[in-house]
Structure 1
Amino acid sequence: MTPATAPPAPGARNTRTAATRAAITAAAERLFAERGVSAVSNRQVGEAAGQANNTAVAYHFGTKTDLIRAIIRNHAQDIEARRAPMLESVRGSADIRDWIRCLVLPSTEHFAALGTPSWYARFNAQVMTDPALRALIYEDALASASLQETLQGLRATAGAIPPRIRRTRADMARQLLVHMCSERERDLALTAAGTADPGQQHWAGAPVDGDAGTWAELSADLVDALTGLWTAPVTR
């Protein structure tokens, strides 16, 4: 008689479940970044994660929205941890640049720490194109006490900008931050792979030289640009 196989120990089962969830979120992040959220099915995510069961994503996460929320939260902890000490050093500052640095650097430093290739910046850009998913990002962001404090500091140092114009500039700042990070991540991945986009040119008309730049350089550029955006004169 063949002896019965003992069930896996709870610790081993938990480890296997955690590994499966990590594989699914990693595969989904990459596929969503490369193809867009609506173009990728749960079945495709499961296959990319090495799961033979077509219902693996639903079993471990539920809906696609739940999966997207899990990806966002996977990254949020490190971003929050980077913002906390920055806030400690700028509390009470009347310099808007200090608050913009608290807005920009936690994300760009996190992107840099992911290495190359990475997909989270491009994932964010794809999610932001869907109104319902954009609301999901806002919901999670508004739950962050450190981000709320950063935005309050930014508003307090931005001067007497009329509310409607302040909302418009906030939208501009979000677009600049999200999409410039997405472009930098893409350029770094292409450079690392030895691939260039022959159709891409700088605004000045000069061809791209194959140097994607660094996250630190983009951070400085974004802080400069957003400072200029928020301190620009109001003409209407």
Structure 2
Amino acid sequence: MMMAERPGHEPRAEATRERIVTAAERLFAERGVVAVSNRQISEAAGQGNNTAVGYHFGSKEELVRAIVRRHAVPIEQARIDRVARVRGSTRVRDWVACLVYPATEHLAGLGVPSWFARFSAQVMTDPGLREIMAAESLSTPSLREVLDGLSACADLPLPVHLERSEMAGHLVVHMCEQRERRLARGTTTAKHSWQSAAVGLVDAITAIWLAPVTPDDAGEATARPHAAGSRGDDDKGGNRE
């Protein structure tokens, strides 16, 4: 349980919290959440008191939540703005761009090195922490509107829609994580910029959403062949962000 700060100590406490969040994000990204102790985070944040993490956040889970919120807020605002520009669109690519660009533009703005993409990939592998990520950044109103827009454009059976939503999410998380890691290490990246990487992601995810559906053995999915030009096929050679 956090103790109340005396009057006049709030700015100092907030600065300490920010240093802890920054240090924890880097350590979690580089080593994994489970492998990093509160003592290591306190030391990396320059805190002589090794109980600083518990004092300011109470638990590692709340520290993870603070890191997610630091990035989720600007990403959500960017997605709200982009969704407002494409609302009503029947082009799959427009809605996929709303999924990809807010994240990649945020990562580009963080500079090199950054740690949020690697941190996100670490968190998404932990069942308990994944729920925090989902609650803070994967269940927002704008993201739900993006998925609704894709549903309206792609006209897929529900099981296929859910499956491809998961595919798209994994692709964004892990391709961004890979690029961020390579940038931090100074090694070769597939694309020269986050903008270029985002275009490749939008291409790939658009193709996933527009791919034909083959019925499985149990007949749970219904194939929906489509003619050229339907379901946003014009996206394949259309405008690029």
TM-score interval w.r.t. the shorter chain? 0.7 to 0.9
The separation in 2 between residues aligned to 1:229 and 1:184, in whole angstroms, is: 21
The answer to whether the 8 Å contact 2:191/2:197 transfers is no
The normalised TM-score by structure 1 is 0.85
Overall identity of the aligned pairs, in %: 55
Which position in structure 1 is the counterpart of 2:45?
49
Which position in structure 1 is the counterpart of 2:164?
169
Equivalent residue of 2:192, what SS?
coil
The separation in 1 between residues aligned to 2:198 and 2:91, in whole angstroms, is: 17
The answer to whether the 8 Å contact 1:94/1:157 transfers is yes
Equivalent residue of 1:184, what SS?
helix
The separation in 1 between residues aligned to 2:197 and 2:65, in whole angstroms, is: 27
What amino acid is aligned across from residue 30 of structure 2 in structure 1? E
> 1:142, CA displacement in angstroms?
5.0
The answer to whether the 8 Å contact 1:187/1:212 transfers is no
Equivalent residue of 1:124, what SS?
helix
The answer to whether the 8 Å contact 1:188/1:212 transfers is no
Which position in structure 2 is the counterpart of 1:217?
196
1:125-152 deviation line (CA, Å, top 9, x unaligned)? 0000001111221122355211221121
Which position in structure 1 is the counterpart of 2:210?
231
Which position in structure 1 is the counterpart of 2:11?
15
Q: How many residues align?
A: 211
> 1:212, CA displacement in angstroms?
5.8
> 1:10, CA displacement in angstroms?
3.3
What amino acid is aligned across from residue 172 of structure 1 in structure 2? M
The normalised TM-score by structure 2 is 0.83
1:163-209 deviation line (CA, Å, top 9, x unaligned)? 22222212211111100000111111122xxxx4xxxxxxxxxxx5x
Equivalent residue of 2:134, what SS?
helix
Unaligned runs of 5+ in 1: 1-7, 197-207
The separation in 2 between residues aligned to 1:156 and 1:68, in whole angstroms, is: 34
Is 1:104 the counterpart of 2:100? The answer is yes
The answer to whether the 8 Å contact 1:69/1:136 transfers is yes
Which position in structure 1 is the counterpart of 2:90?
94
The answer to whether the 8 Å contact 1:42/1:64 transfers is yes
